[in-house]
Amino acid sequence: MIEIKVEGMTCTSCATHLKDALEKISGVKTASVSYPESRAQVMADASASRDRMLAAITTLGYQGTFEEDDNKRNSRKIAASKKSGNGLHIAVIGSGGAMAAALKAAELGAQVTLIERGTIGGTCVNIGCVPSKIFIRAAHIAHLRQSSPFDAGISASAPVIDRKTLLAQQQARVEELRHAKYEGILERNPAITVLRGAARFKDGGHLIVQMTAGGERAVAFDRCLIATGASPAVPTIPGLKDTSYWTSTEALVSDAIPKRLAVIGSSVVALELAQAFARLGSKVTILARNTLFFREDPAIGAAVTAAFRAEGIEVLEHTQASNVAYADEEFVLTTEHGEVHADKLLIATGRVPNTRGLNLEAAGVAVNAQGTIVIDQGMRSSAANIYAAGDCTDQPQFVYVAAAAGTRAAINMTGGDAMLDLTAMPAVVFTDPQVATVGLTEAEAHAQNIETESRTLTLDNVPRALANFDTRGFIKLVAEVGSGRLIGVQAVTPEAGELIQTAVLAIRNRMTVQELADQLFPYLTMVEGLKLCAQTFFKDVKQLSCCAG
């Protein structure tokens, strides 16, 4: 029996996760973990690696020390939190999600050189998540002032939009967060050196950095993390490249709201910005090659399409532009259904990895046909000492995925063995109503030969939605037949992003729909809709009192 003292657990779920991690280690037969006693007991054969056990504990954020037999527990302790990166030099290319990797590697004792060719902070804080959510929130406020379910008793009026002032407010907050969460932290960390310039590989152990200020600098490394992100993809439509079209980058810093906006795209960025511009005064037309959110459960696209059309947004499904012309400050898009005229054109058709120019072949780093870096679950590339994380890989393009991957890559670069589990990864789209998902759709489950049963709850069954006089959308739960285990949740509701993490935890902890239905949920909250939907597996919720348990 191997006894391990574990510090840092905060609940019984921590103990469950640690037990699962320990039992995955080769040579471990069984593991018993007690949160109240802060202790793990492991039955293992001689081949089981104690270092792997410590790495598993550290990866989950805890600290572990081995204890010898009962008579000499204090005779020898091996700390799981030791700085295993001492003496290593790690190069990190990028400063967005890569920031988490740089900080973790420094924490583990490595010396880090962080290389950034553009603005510190990467896409999210500068030209992505932060400015877009500020823009969307401003549009939401404008929409409520003009129209709400309470207009019969509260007078409404069309707001006057001063986009230049809104833009100044937006960019001031971007700069504040960039300095507080990136620049300031880097300046205060003596283990991290920042180089401003574009990096390319000379070979498997050296980078050449074309410095922004001029000249070149060679950087030797023991390990390297590539986290260069992605850029907007631009389709090859005849005539498009000769026009002043927008990507999301230009749209978010525009100081004016166009009278007419055409949007090519049918997913997250396209739809978030389309609705925001519409609510700030643009007449918006969306050209969708298929349907909205066609890769998701069909009900999601249908619900968002209905909400958009109710707001006056024109959604042209199964429509593509065969030509784009621009003259006299007007875009003319030729489609199979006629012409679309607009003052501005937003292209939001996905993103491509920023891997060109890195000279990856010189380091032996493999990419796929799309230029995406091929990695394993430990973020290792095809080159033994080179790792990659975030949007330049085939991981889901979310900043929290990139940061989590970067942290685990740092652990692995300094001798650990951490993997990123994406089986319960939440995703949120900030339209109104919002779209939030986690786990498997029915179609995805069936593709994996999992038999499912599901229930869909419309929001006219959710007391919070009724109290808000806003019953747009639905909540859908997907369960495994037989076990009843929850394996997927799709929601289209106001503030769906605020309820989805409860579903994440339920899936992560392998809860059944019965167990979810039995939980206490606060009354008159949107998240209560999860409980109500779970109850529909067993009863007719229309026959329950408002706060029936």
Burial of 155 (0-12, 13-18, 19+ CB in 10 A): exposed
Distance, CA of 257 to CA of 259 (rounded, Å)? 7
Fold category of 2-72 in CATH: Alpha-Beta Plaits (3.30.70)
Residue partners of 144: CB distance under 8 A and separation at least 6: none
- CATH 3.30.390.30 residue ranges in the chain? 427-543
Q: Please give the DSSP secondary-structure letter assigned to residue 256.
A: S
Q: How far apart are CA 32 and CA 247, in angstroms?
A: 53
Question: Does 533 qualify as catalytic in the annotation?
Answer: no
Answer whether 0.95 is exceeded by the pTM: no
Q: Which residues contact 423 (CB under 8 A, 6 or more apart)?
A: 439, 507, 508
For the question of residue 419 being annotated catalytic, the response is no
Q: Of 232, 320, 313, 321, nearest to 277 (Cα)?
A: 313
What tokens appear for 93 in the block?
């290319």
Task: Say what the pLDDT of residue 73 is.
Answer: 34
CB count within 10 Å of CB 405 equals 31
Integer angstrom CA distances of residue 482 from 479, 501, 504: 9, 25, 21
Identity of the residue numbered 526: M
List of the chain residues with pLDDT < 50? 69-82
What topology is assigned to 427-543 in CATH?
A: Enolase-like; domain 1 (3.30.390)
Classified by CATH at the fold level, domain 89-232+353-413 comes out as: FAD/NAD(P)-binding domain (3.50.50)
Is-contact 279 255, C-beta < 8 A? no
Tokens of residue 378, six digits: 């430990």
| Pair of tokens at residue 213 | 């200020």
The amino acid sitting at 296 is E
Give the residue range(s) of CATH 3.50.50.60 domains in the chain: 89-232+353-413, 240-349
From the list 35, 129, 326, 400, the catalytic residue is 129
Per the CB < 8 A criterion, the answer to whether 347 and 246 are in contact is yes
Sheet holding 338-342, edge to edge: 321-327, 330-335, 338-342
Query: From 3.40.630.20, 3.50.50.60, 2.60.40.10, 3.40.50.10900, which CATH number describes the 240-349 domain?
Result: 3.50.50.60
Q: Which of 495, 496, 507 is nearest to 534 (CA)?
A: 507
Our CA angle for 341, 342, 347, nearest 5°, is 115
Structure tokens at 111: 């010396």
Q: Determine which one of 14, 35, 211, 400 is catalytic.
A: 14
11 is catalytic: yes
What are the residue ranges of CATH 3.30.70.100 in the chain?
2-72
From the list 9, 413, 511, 526, the catalytic residue is 9
The Cα 253–Cα 344 span in angstroms is 14
546 noted as active-site residue: yes
Stated length of the chain: 549
Q: Which of 124, 379, 392, 413 is catalytic?
A: 124
Residue 200 is which amino acid? R
